[in-house]
Amino acid sequence: MTNITALTNVELQQALNDYPIAPLASASLASDGIENSNYIIRTEDERQFVFTVLEQPSFSSHDDYVALLDSCVNAGLPVPEVIRTKGGQTSTRVESKPALLSRYLAGSHASNPTQDQLTSLGRFLGRFHNIDYKPSGGITLYPRNPQWLRESLVELTPRLAFQQSTLLEQATAACEQMFAREDIRSLPWGTVHGDLFRDNVLFTQQGLSGVLDFHHAASGYFLFDLAVTANDWCSESNGLLNAERTLALLRGYHQQRPLTEREVWWFSNFGLYAATVFYTSRLRTQKLDQAARCKDPLEMEQLVAGYLSHPLQLHWRLLG
C-alpha cells in the first residue's frame, strides 16, 4: 500500500528495451493497483503485457516468487507468466526498484460473484495448493503471525479509538489462543497465495481467466488461504459470511483437495485470524503511513466483530 512510480512512455520503452518484444505502442497505468505500480503495455505487433514496478518487496524472495509462478504455469493454472529479459534475467530495474514483465491476462473483476464463479475460484485454490512446489531455499513463513499481531496492537493502541483497540485486543487474544493449541499444528500446510481478494482475480464469459498478485505468497496453513478468500468473496455488508456462497467456495475447493473434518471445524477461527490480519494491516497503513494508499479498515473491522459475535458453523458433510 505505497505510492506509485509514474513513468512516461519514453521511460517505459527504455526499460522494455531489455526484453525480446516489439516496440511500445501504448501504455496505461492500472487504476486498481495498491501495493505495486502496474502498467498495461501494448506493443506494435498488438501483443499485451503487464509491466510491474515492485514498490515493496514480496513476502518471499524474488527468485522464489518467479519460481512459484513458473510452477503454476507448468501446472496449467491461469497466472501471469514472467517474461525473461534478453539476457535471461527475471527482472529489470526502474528508478532503483525491481520491475518485471508478464503476459497480460484478459478478463474483469467480479464485484458481485455468482455461485459458479465462487465454485471455480475454490477449484483454482485447491489446484494451487496441490502444486508440487519445492523452492531451493524454502519459501518464507507467512510473517503476519500472532506475534506480529501483538506487536502491531501495542504500536497501534495509542492511535486508536477505545472501541477499535478493544476489538483488536479481543481478536488478537483469540488468535494467540488458537495458535497455542497442539492440534492446530497438524493442519495441512504449504504455499499459500495470501491475498486472494476480488481485485486479484479475473473472469471472462468462459470462466475464471486469471489470478494475479502472488507477492503475499508464503508458507502457511491452507485453511488461512481459504479464509482470506471467503472473507472478501462471501461476506455480507453486516460483516457476516453468507453460508450459501461460502459453501460454493468450499465445495469447489473440496473437489480438488479434500478438506478434512478438522479443517472445516476450524474454518471460522481461521476466518477471524484472516480478518484480524488484514484489519491490523490496514490500520497500520492508515495510522502509521498516512501518505500511502490504503483500503478502508472498516470492512475488516466489521468482519472481525462478526466473527467474534456470530461465528459461522459449517458441517463437513455439507461439502458432499
| CATH classification at residue 88 | 3.30.200.20
237 shares a domain with 128: yes
119 shares a domain with 95: no
Buried b (16+ CB within 10 A) or exposed e, 192-202: bbbbbbbbbbb
244 shares a domain with 213: yes
Residue 231: closest CA among 193, 192, 272: 272
265 shares a domain with 229: yes
- The whole-angstrom separation of Cα 36 and Cα 32 is 10
Is-contact 196 125, C-beta < 8 A?
yes
- pLDDT (0 to 100) of residue 1: 43
Residue 184, CA distances (Å) to 136, 143, 221, 225, 240 in order: 27, 17, 9, 15, 24
298 shares a domain with 162: yes
Q: Please report whether residue 83 resides in a domain.
A: yes
Q: Please report whether residue 37 resides in a domain.
A: yes
Tens digit of pLDDT for each residue in 22-32? 999 999 998 76
Q: Please report whether residue 124 resides in a domain.
A: yes
Is-contact 297 242, C-beta < 8 A?
no
248 shares a domain with 276: yes
Q: Please report whether residue 2 resides in a domain.
A: no
Q: Please report whether residue 108 resides in a domain.
A: no
Q: Please report whether residue 3 resides in a domain.
A: no
Residue 184: closest CA among 255, 267, 250: 267
Q: Please report whether residue 237 resides in a domain.
A: yes
Q: Please report whether residue 98 resides in a domain.
A: yes
192 shares a domain with 146: yes
Residue showing cell 493442519: 187
Estimate the crossing angle of helix 243-256 against helix 115-130, to 10 degrees. Answer: 40
Helix/strand/coil (H/E/C) assignment for every residue in 145-202: CHHHHHHHHHHHHHHCCHHHHHHHHHHHHHHHHHHCCHHHHHCCEEEECCCCCHHHEE
Last residue of a domain, one of 72, 103, 134: 103
Q: Which residues of the chain, if any, have pLDDT below 50?
A: 1
Number of domains present in the structure of the chain: 2
DSSP 3-state of 101: strand
- pLDDT (0 to 100) of residue 157: 97
- The whole-angstrom separation of Cα 50 and Cα 100 is 8
- The whole-angstrom separation of Cα 64 and Cα 85 is 18
81 shares a domain with 151: no
- Residue 294 sits in a domain of what CATH number? 3.90.1200.10
Last residue of a domain, one of 103, 124, 149: 103
- The whole-angstrom separation of Cα 15 and Cα 1 is 24
Tens digit of pLDDT for each residue in 43-101? 999 999 999 998 887 888 888 889 999 999 999 999 999 999 999 999 999 998 999 99
Q: What domain range is 83 assigned to?
A: 9-103
Buried b (16+ CB within 10 A) or exposed e, 130-169: eeebebeeebbebebebebbbebbeebeeebeeebbebbe
- The whole-angstrom separation of Cα 231 and Cα 236 is 9
- In this structure, how many other beta carbons lie within 10 angstroms of the beta carbon of residue 46? 8
- The whole-angstrom separation of Cα 30 and Cα 52 is 10
- pLDDT (0 to 100) of residue 27: 95
Cell of 303: 468482519
282 shares a domain with 222: yes
169 shares a domain with 66: no
Question: Whole-model pTM?
Answer: 0.93
- The whole-angstrom separation of Cα 300 and Cα 236 is 12
Cell of 86: 534478453
Sheet strands (E) in the chain: 24-29, 37-43, 48-53, 82-83, 92-94, 97-103, 189-192, 201-204, 207-211, 218-221
130 shares a domain with 90: no
Cell of 232: 472478501
Last residue of a domain, one of 103, 137, 154: 103
120 shares a domain with 57: no
DSSP 3-state of 158: helix
